[in-house]
Amino acid sequence: MKHILRAILLSIVVGLAAAMDNLSTAERSAETCGDPDDTLAWYRLYNANLVTYSYTTDVPLVTTLILGNGYALQTIMGMVFVTQEESTVPCYFLSSPALEDNFVTINATERDVAIANGYALLPALQTYIYPSAICGSIPMYRLYKSAQTLNFFTTSESERLSAISSGGFSDLGIAGYVLPAGVAASC
């Protein structure tokens, strides 16, 4: 009888601990995400003359790139932070006018290698994104066409597949995770 009671008590304690563990996991997940209301739309632009993509949340810069620099607006990649929030990491923006290439990376080693190879780090274009699929974020794919030293990023699975099958790009995997376009509260 004593053994049975002890076994019952033990199972209650274990169950309680598991339930509390779940509770704290749920509480933590809300706390460890950035506030979607703080995100901005991340625009992708393309310059067909330079064969260069660019990415920015800065609307006046989008206008300048279109009106003065031969870029066309292509899409909104997703929603990103411009200051660091819970669980996000810096997404560095690297630019090489000589190679006519821009790319982003969350990998600090790759950033440093690129700088050593003549790319400039542009802090004004740095964003903050998730390093894994948390907080409702979606993958941002990276593609590369070595013939043109052309980095290309997309959150569209169909665009990714057609870049590989007919655009001459190779698949460099997932560069990071952004919130899908339109999640921020409209204001």
Ligand X SMILES: *[C@@H]1O[C@H](CO)[C@@H](O)[C@H](O)[C@H]1NC(C)=O
**Which residue ranges make up the site for ligand X (CB under 6 A)?**
15, 18-19, 22, 107, 109-110, 113
Q: Kindly give, in sequence order, each residue whose CB lies less than 8 Å from that of residue 54, ignoring residues fewer than 6 positions away.
A: 44, 45, 46, 47, 65, 71, 102
- Shortest gap between Cβ of 110 and ligand X (angstroms)? 4
Q: Which is nearer to ligand X, 38 or 110 (CB)?
A: 110
CA gap 3, 36 in Å, rounded: 52
For ligand X, give the closer residue by CB, 20 or 51: 20
Output the smallest distance, CB 7 to ligand X, in A. 18
Smaller CB separation from ligand X, 8 or 113: 113
Closest by CA position to 43, among listed 23, 68, 60, 22: 60
Q: How far is the CB of 167 from ligand X (least distance, A)?
A: 23
Least distance between ligand X and beta carbon 114 (Å): 8
Contact 84, 38 (CB under 8 A): no
Q: How many CB atoms lie within 10 A of CB 26?
A: 9
Q: Closest CB to ligand X among 107 and 156? A: 107
